[in-house]
Amino acid sequence: MNDPKNVERTGSGLVAVVTGASRGLGAGLAKAFADTGLRLALCARTVPAVPEGADAVTASVDVTDAGALDRFADEVVERFGRVDLWVNNAGVLGPIGPLVDADPEALRRHIDINVTGVLLGCRAFARVVRAQPGGGVLVNISSGAGTKIYEGWAAYCASKAAVDMMTAVVATEEHTHGLRAYALAPGVVDTDMQAQIRATPAASFPSVARFLKLDQEQAFNSPGWVASFILDLVEGRRGATDGVRVRVPDQPHDG
- The candidate with the shortest Cα–Cα distance to 244, out of 177, 176, 179, is 179
What percent of the chain is predicted at pLDDT more than 90?
Answer: 85
Q: Domains of the chain, with CATH numbers? A: 15-189+222-247 (3.40.50.720)
- pLDDT value at position 239? 65
- How many other C-beta atoms lie within 10 A of the C-beta of residue 62? 17
Using an 8 Å Cβ cutoff, are 246 and 230 in contact? no
Q: Quick one: pLDDT band at residue 4, thresholds 50, 70, 90? A: very low
Q: How many angstroms separate the CA atoms of 135 and 196, rounded?
A: 37
pLDDT at 236: 85
pTM for this predicted structure:
0.92
Distance separating alpha carbons of residues 218 and 211, to the nearest angstrom: 10
pLDDT over 90 at 237, yes or no: no
Mean pLDDT of the 74-96 span: 97
- Distance, CA of 54 to CA of 72 (rounded, Å): 18
Catalytic residue among 72, 125, 156, 229: 156
Q: How many CB atoms lie within 10 A of CB 18?
A: 31
**pLDDT for residue 9 is more than 50:** no
Contact 151, 197 (CB under 8 A): no
pLDDT bracket for residue 242 (50, 70, 90): low
How far is Cα 165 from Cα 15, in angstroms, rounded to an integer? 26
Amino acid at 62: D
Residue-level pLDDT at 215: 85
Rounded Cα distance between 28 and 54, Å, is 13
How many angstroms separate the CA atoms of 202 and 174, rounded? 43
Instruction: Note the pLDDT of residue 217.
Output: 87
Name the 3-class secondary structure at 230. Answer: helix
Question: Bridge-partner residues for 1, per DSSP?
Answer: none
Query: Is 182 one of the annotated active-site residues of the chain?
Result: no
What strands lie across the sheet with 15-19, from one edge to the other?
Answer: 56-60, 39-44, 15-19, 85-88, 136-141, 179-185, 245-247
Which tens digit of pLDDT belongs to each residue from 187-224? 999 888 899 999 999 999 999 999 999 889 888 999 99
Which range (69-73, 81-85, 106-110, 186-190) has the least confidence? 186-190
Mean pLDDT score across all residues of the chain: 93
Quote the CA–CA distance of 118 and 162 in Å, as a whole number.
Answer: 10
CA dist 111 → 23, 153, 183, 192 (Å): 20, 12, 17, 20
Condensed to tens digits (0 to 9), the pLDDT of residues 89-135 reads: 999 999 999 999 999 999 999 999 999 999 999 999 999 999 999 99
Range from 6-20, 60-74, 120-134, 226-240 carrying the lowest mean pLDDT:
6-20
- pLDDT band at 240; cut points 50, 70, 90: low
